[in-house]
Amino acid sequence: MLENRHISRRQSYTEGKRLASLYNIIPNMIWTVLHLTPVTVYCFSDLPLKYLYIFGGISIVFAALPHRFYFWIQLSNRIRVYHKVGILLIRKFSQDGDWVNQAVRRRYPNYTVIFRRQDIDGYIAKTYFFERFHMLLWIFMLAVSIYAAVEKDWIWAIIIFLNNILYNLYPIFLQQYNRLRVLRILSKSKKI
């Protein structure tokens, strides 16, 4: 009987993961279209091709830096700091965020993002992957917004910069916050 409960819980997790993948499409598409459209339009209409290559190359270098760099630039090692900058609001509407998890739990009440202790390393690796992705775009969009400002395209510079904060800086903070939470829970469970 206990074994059947474990199997059904595992199956519930697997089905919940599939459903979460589908639900994650919604915030991903909304955030991506909303925040990448302005920089895409500007790059195609006003950014010389050589700068596209230069900014892209610089961005790739930042994305390829080791974990030490990402640890060094971390906003804080205190969860409270992330709360103060509003990360909980961003988490509600992000991939694997509160909205997605609540929607999945309506159908699979026991669903969790991390099912077993062995999944923690994979989850932490995923946070670094997403942080690198958003760092690449943060550097690229920052360079494009600076270029627009130098060219006195003030509206474009402001729009791209604000979109960069929402689409990249906050998701970078979110990945840092997620790692801190998981590591804090893990350290508490080792003390018990």
Query: Which has the closest alpha carbon to 21: 113, 92, 130?
Result: 113
pLDDT(153) > 60: yes
Q: How far apart are CA 22 and CA 118, in angstroms?
A: 24
Tally of domains in the chain: 1
Residue 140, domain extent: 1-190
Question: Inter-axis angle of helices 119-150 and 49-63, to 10 degrees?
Answer: 150
**Could you tell me the pTM of the whole model?**
0.87
The 10s digit of each residue's pLDDT in 7-24 is: 466 677 788 889 989 999
DSSP string computed for 28-40: HHHHHHHHHHHHH
> Angle 82-140-174 (CA atoms, 0-180°, nearest 5)?
20
Residue 133: per-residue pLDDT? 97
Residues in the chain: 192
* Cα Dmax for the chain: 70
The 10s digit of each residue's pLDDT in 83-94 is: 999 999 999 999
